């Protein structure tokens, strides 16, 4: 097995608050690709065959609310901003190596309900991220 090198993340800004991470739309765009891959991997493991699937906005948005992160976002926002927040936080946690791809996929694999798995991941990410 090749040894793991630290993730390149020079492209990340120096964030000083969770709100800055959660509201970074560019980070959410990268996070979208990340979350779809993690979910596809999780479903491959659960179904015991390779599987590719996109995560929709609703479970991501609901998970942000249930993980108690809604209060960190501006008061008037649409659902899209909520799902972006989840994607941004999850890829930030991966880039900063506080949540591995394997641990993330495992959480989504073990929870039948995607939203529940996402709440677990967002909670872990929030606990582990040091700013």
Stretch of 29-37, 63-71, 74-82, 115-123 lying at the interface with a second copy (CB under 8 A): 29-37
Site string for a second copy, 66-105 (x = CB under 8 A): -------------------------x-----xx-xxxx-x
Instruction: Give the Cα separation of 21 and 3 in Å (integer).
Output: 29
3-state secondary structure of 87: helix
Instruction: Give the Cα separation of 111 and 116 in Å (integer).
Output: 6
- C-beta of 65 vs 103, nearer to a second copy: 103
Among 8, 14, 16, 75, binds a second copy (CB under 8 A): 8
Kindly state the tokens that stand for 91: 């890829």
Long-range contacts of 45-51 (CB under 8 A, 24+ apart): 45/105, 45/106, 45/109, 46/109
Stretch of 37-45, 56-64, 72-80, 112-120 lying at the interface with a second copy (CB under 8 A): 37-45
How many residues bind a second copy (CB under 8 A)? The answer is 45
Is 26 an interacting residue with respect to a second copy (CB under 8 A)? Answer: yes
Instruction: Give the Cα separation of 15 and 27 in Å (integer).
Output: 12
């Amino acid at each position: 097995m090749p040894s793991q090198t630290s993730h390149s993340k020079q492209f990340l800004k120096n964030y000083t608050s969770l709100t800055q991470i959660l509201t970074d739309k560019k980070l959410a765009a990268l996070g979208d690709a990340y979350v779809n891959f993690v979910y596809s991997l999780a479903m491959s493991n659960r179904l015991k065959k390779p599987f590719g699937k996109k995560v929709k906005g609703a479970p991501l948005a609901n998970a942000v609310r249930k993980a108690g992160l809604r209060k960190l976002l501006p008061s008037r926002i649409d659902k899209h901003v909520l799902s972006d927040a989840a994607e941004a936080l999850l890829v930030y946690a991966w880039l900063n190596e506080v949540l591995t791809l394997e641990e993330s996929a495992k959480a989504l694999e073990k929870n039948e309900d995607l939203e529940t798995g996402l709440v677990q991941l967002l909670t872990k990410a929030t606990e582990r991220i040091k700013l």
